[in-house]
Amino acid sequence: MACEEKEDLVERTQPSILVIDDQPELREILHDLLIEEGCHVSTRASHDLAEITRLAPDLIILEVVMRDGPSGLEVIQQYRVNPRTAHVPLVICTAAVHLAAQIVPLLAERDHLVLKPFDLDDLLDAVRSGLGHASRSVAA
């Protein structure tokens, strides 16, 4: 079964990660990698705040430059003002080096910017760090 639009809303004990990227190959790679790390993973090909709110992930891996839909900068701002997603750590995973200066001011301490092409270990470190912040904010 391909990881296209995967989701599972059953009660979970693993961290839940939502991968949003318009490249199906990258979604598949990240899905498989994060499953191996013991995470519950959902994938989407587009930004949809209502869907993200419904899924309630513990962390979102987000490409900001997508073929369709709003700009990634707008999406980050939408996540931050929505009370249901404002606390969710973001790992911005993008090749848009030219947008880095605009992205960084939008990131919270718990968020990370990982530029493509990236080393999988660097991405996993960002995910682990973000999930560590998520668990501390739940415990607080």
For the chain, which residues make up each domain, given as ranges? Answer: 16-133
27-48 mean pLDDT: 94
Report which residue type is found at 115. Answer: L
Buried b (16+ CB within 10 A) or exposed e, 119-129: eeeebbebbeb
User: Tens digits of per-residue pLDDT, 47-85?
Assistant: 888 888 899 999 999 998 887 777 778 889 988 899 989
- Give the phi and the psi of residue 40 in degrees, each rounded to 5: -90, 130
Q: What average pLDDT does the chain have?
A: 85
CATH 3.90.420.10 holds for 16-133: no
The answer to whether residue 18 scores a pLDDT higher than 50 is yes
pLDDT at 47 (0 to 100): 85
Q: Sheet containing 112-115: which strands, arranged edge to edge? A: 40-44, 16-20, 59-62, 90-94, 112-115
Instruction: Sort 48 into a burial class: Cβ within 10 Å, 0-12 / 13-18 / 19+.
Output: middle
Contact 134, 14 (CB under 8 A): no
**Residue 138 vs residue 12, higher pLDDT:** 12
39 pLDDT tier (thresholds 50, 70, 90): very high
